Structure 1
């Protein structure tokens, strides 16, 4: 049974990053007509509505302290992560943001070791170094201008850091017995709530015609129902089954999926450096998942 749970967790994590790695295509199309904040509100609003219907209502927190954990998860995993990442893109290149955010597994591991007492092995750190080298090589190959800015880099690091906090919070909430769909729905609700302030300040400049444009609507539905509602559920479930450290290692593959999908969908060229970076990133993922002689009864 335990092996089946592990296999399920790995499959769910892999499926999630395959979808998340292709969201750039939809986002790129939508950015022609919408602001990043408009896209965020729309995708998480759609995701929230879908999860609310699927989960038949909100999950009821067992204690008021748990409500605080839900709020923190919404703040970190939805509001702060995407705001920091999107704002970082206005200061530094998308390639560099991708490399910085790919460091999220390191922050996740450190928080998990500190707060959940999870044991970190040398394989995790070797995998991290290998994967980051691959991600940097693949993402930055052929990039002539990185548009570096200390503020942009700091925002990218902040995004990776808050994702680590989110992953640990999800593990804690899962251990309390909350079901994945209602749990994710409540988190989305808080994420939307925290988005209201910046959304009201910016407004919604896109006209009504833009929202019903078939191409825009299709991409919004993909981001809202697929990349948000479905993938946050599959990711959270993977965290429940594998733990935050092992699940977060799959983030290494996200920039690689983006690069490969660019070649397949947008017909962009894959250079030898990109292929080498892809191999290194995937090798780092495999190394990070390796465990050292687990004791009887202990998760490997």
Structure 2
């Protein structure tokens, strides 16, 4: 039970941080192009995580040697999750809109449950399915249904691909956690993502102007340290501790927190749908995490 609570806290914090990320990104993306911003996030995140990893290894005297198969798995996680999925989120949103992006990527937990069954052989219980249904309906109510969804065909297809690839990331992080800590997984997967992103960043800065001031620098530092290094580690740690199928439901905190902070900081309007949808999301999380006491 303690592990379930700790995993739930890690996943809730990660999804909540990602929800807050949109408020900062909305400002920073007016001055820095998307792939360049992703690259900057990864540079900062890798630098922070690598220092923490080395301090931790020196303190515990545990210098884990990674085998070729470990590097291949970490490279796969960095490629499919931190490079492909994040890039697809940006491209898909650009070809449609943020509203459509939020709605389609909320399908991620459903894909996590499917891949957890196929790859990890996790049981597909009625409790998981019911909680997933409740939370999915909740997100649909909070975000709302976009009547223009069909008009953004290619954007919608790419956003579905983003949801699928993030689900694959979450499942293979669980596989990697059988042999390595979340800190090692996050640090080196981000390193691979940084390598994959670099050529696209170089091309982007040659064709676009980038502006820096104090507020932008602070925003980039927040996105790199908190939203990337911190949130990626927390998500991976949560997936390490509890079943991927259960952990998937906590992804729904992202649009909920994003909507709340949009109201709090950007004067965006919250209506009855937010409270009704939010209640269903929380109920879905409770259904999958709170277990009945065994009767002795």
TM score, norm. by length of structure 2: 0.90
Q: Which of 176, 179, 182 pairs up with 2:181?
A: 179
Q: Which of 130, 135, 144 pairs up with 2:134?
A: 130
Shift of residue 6 of structure 1? 2.0
Q: Is 1:149 aligned with 2:155?
A: no
**d(CA) in 2 for partners of 1:21 and 1:292?**
31
Contact 1:79 1:191 in 2 (8 A): yes
Higher alpha-carbon deviation: 274-283 or 190-199 = 274-283
**d(CA) in 2 for partners of 1:292 and 1:105?**
23
Q: Is 1:112 aligned with 2:116?
A: yes
Corresponding residue of 1:239: 239
Q: State how 1:42-57 maps to structure 2 within 5 Å.
A: 42-56=40-54
Q: Which of 8, 11, 25 pairs up with 1:10?
A: 8
Shift of residue 76 of structure 1? 1.6
Shift of residue 184 of structure 1? 1.0
SS at match of 1:119: coil
Corresponding residue of 2:198: 196
Structure that is richer in helix per residue: 2
Q: Which of 62, 66, 75 pairs up with 2:70?
A: 66
Q: Which of 93, 98, 101 pairs up with 2:97?
A: 93
RMSD: 2.2
Unaligned runs of 5+ in 1: 295-300
SS at match of 1:189: helix
Shift of residue 55 of structure 1? 0.9
**d(CA) in 2 for partners of 1:119 and 1:159?**
25
Shift of residue 293 of structure 1? 9.1
Unaligned runs of 5+ in 2: 58-62
Shift of residue 291 of structure 1? 6.0
Contact 2:12 2:251 in 1 (8 A): no
